[in-house]
């Protein structure tokens, strides 16, 4: 989350600088727009894991909570295995994804594959989290993420 916050702060700072430059000199800073786009992608992908870890992801708890204890555990294991499968596809395909993204991002000089690296890292972390949760469910212990979810403030509109 610190990376996400830093990315958002940097986007804000460079866009304010760009606005000031346009108003004072009549010309904007050419690299602000591509860097803002890159940072936005990074922030979203870096937030992928913390949002899952904090329980801010979309779940189908409504249906699972209405099942008996045995079915509830089985459904959670099944859901975790589905998540592991989906995230594994991203991680397994990472070499091909990276090899297809060739060339530099204009004005900032980063290689295009740099846009995918945060997604791949977050996917790998989610695989570890889901694997640990599945192991804990099979050992009949509280989920590894449950204590974190209980400590976080509940947001409501």
Give the span between the Cα atoms of 135 and 129, in whole angstroms: 10
4, 95, 129, 149 from 50: Cα distances, Å: 10, 24, 11, 11
Tell whether 157 is covered by a domain: no
DSSP code for 128: H
Residue 93 lies in a domain: yes
Provide the 8-state DSSP code for 26.
Answer: S
Q: pLDDT band at residue 157, thresholds of 50, 70 and 90? A: very low
In this prediction, residue 62 carries a pLDDT of 75
pLDDT grade for 148, boundaries at 50, 70 and 90: very low
In the 8-state DSSP scheme, what is residue 57? S
Res 155 pLDDT > 60: no
Structural domain count, the chain:
1
Please report whether residue 35 resides in a domain.
yes
Answer whether residue 154 is part of any domain: no
* 153 found inside a domain: no
Comparing C-alpha atoms, which of 116, 90, 112 is closest to residue 101? 112
- Domain range for 89: 2-147
pLDDT at 103 > cutoff 60: yes
User: Using 50, 70 and 90 to split pLDDT, how confident is the model at 105?
Assistant: confident
Q: pLDDT-derived band of residue 10, with 50, 70 and 90 as boundaries?
A: very high
pLDDT digits (tens, 9 = 90+) for 68-98: 888 888 888 998 999 999 999 999 999 998 9
112 within domain boundaries: yes
Name the pLDDT band for 60 (thresholds 50, 70, 90): low
Question: Is residue 100 in a domain?
Answer: yes
What is the reported pTM?
Answer: 0.73
- Region 3-20: mean pLDDT is 94
């Amino acid at each position: 989350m610190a990376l996400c916050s830093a990315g958002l702060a940097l986007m804000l700072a460079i866009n304010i600088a760009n606005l000031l430059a346009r108003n004072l000199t009549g010309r904007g800073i050419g690299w602000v727009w591509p860097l803002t786009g890159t940072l936005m992608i990074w922030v979203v992908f870096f937030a992928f894991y913390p949002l899952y870890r904090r329980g801010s992801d979309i779940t189908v708890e409504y249906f699972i909570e209405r099942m008996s204890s045995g079915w509830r555990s089985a459904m959670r294991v099944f859901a975790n295995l589905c998540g592991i499968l989906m995230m594994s596809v991203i991680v397994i395909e990472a070499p091909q994804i990276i090899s297809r993204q060739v060339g530099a991002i204009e004005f900032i000089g980063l290689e295009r594959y740099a846009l995918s690296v945060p997604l791949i890292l977050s996917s790998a972390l989610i695989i570890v989290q889901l694997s640990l949760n599945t192991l804990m469910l099979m050992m009949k212990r509280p989920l590894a993420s449950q204590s974190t979810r209980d400590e976080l403030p509940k947001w409501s509109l």
